[in-house]
Amino acid sequence: MSLATFPTAKPIIPALGVLYKSLSPIADAVVRVTAGLLLLPHGAQKLFGMFGGYGVEATGQFFAAKLGLPASLALVAGLIEFFGGILLALGLLTRPVAALVFGLMAVAVVQVHLGIGFFWTAGGFEYPLFWGIVALSFVVRGGGRYSVDALIGAEI
């Protein structure tokens, strides 16, 4: 039996079927906008010292001294998180921006969090891994119909 011949799944709670059908077209956009907006303050911490952050210079010193990473990576990470968050939320240049976010999260997982363990509450890799996978999904799927990419007809 091919996938095309499978019957359409019926909701366990039939009354919710209408809700599922009406919200389904915007589900990816909601996740994309949320992911972008949640990245933005992390970038603002690194770049501008907002939201309890320390700015580029101090974050760079932390990266070098505590994490063994180049200090310049603080600027790169801040730019990807702040401006990438804005672009991801808008759905502009979605695939390349999501690829940068995925790469940043991969570095965070491997270089910073992997040795600590799994759980985010202890500083483990759970959270950056999750956001990396979310970003990877937008690398694969693009910004979707409710994105600036789709609006201008330039899905990359």
94-106 pLDDT, tens digit each? 999 999 999 999 9
Rg (C-alpha) for the chain, rounded Å, is 19
- Domain range summary for the chain, segments of one domain joined by +: 26-152
Which tokens belong to 29?
Answer: 């956009």
pLDDT of residue 5: 66
pLDDT of residue 6: 63
Q: Is 146 exposed, middle or buried (0-12, 13-18, 19+ CB in 10 A)?
A: middle
65 or 155, greater pLDDT: 65
Query: Does the pLDDT of residue 118 top 70, yes or no?
Result: yes
pLDDT of residue 4: 60
52-88 pLDDT, tens digit each? 999 999 999 999 998 889 999 999 999 999 999 999 9
Helical axes 72-90 vs 55-67, angle rounded to 10°: 120
Average pLDDT (113-138) is 95
- The counts of H helices and E strands in the chain are 6, 0
pTM (predicted TM-score):
0.88
1-54 pLDDT, tens digit each? 565 666 677 888 988 889 988 999 999 999 999 999 999 999 999 999 999 999
Which tokens belong to 75?
Answer: 């600027």
CA dist 108 and 124 (Å) reads 10
Average pLDDT (103-122) is 94
Asked if residues 17 and 9 have their Cβ atoms less than 8 Å apart, the reply is no
> What is the identity of the amino acid at 33?
V
Which tokens belong to 99?
Answer: 């690829």
Asked if residues 10 and 57 have their Cβ atoms less than 8 Å apart, the reply is no
Number of C-beta neighbours around residue 5 at 10 A: 6
Query: Does the pLDDT of residue 148 top 80, yes or no?
Result: yes
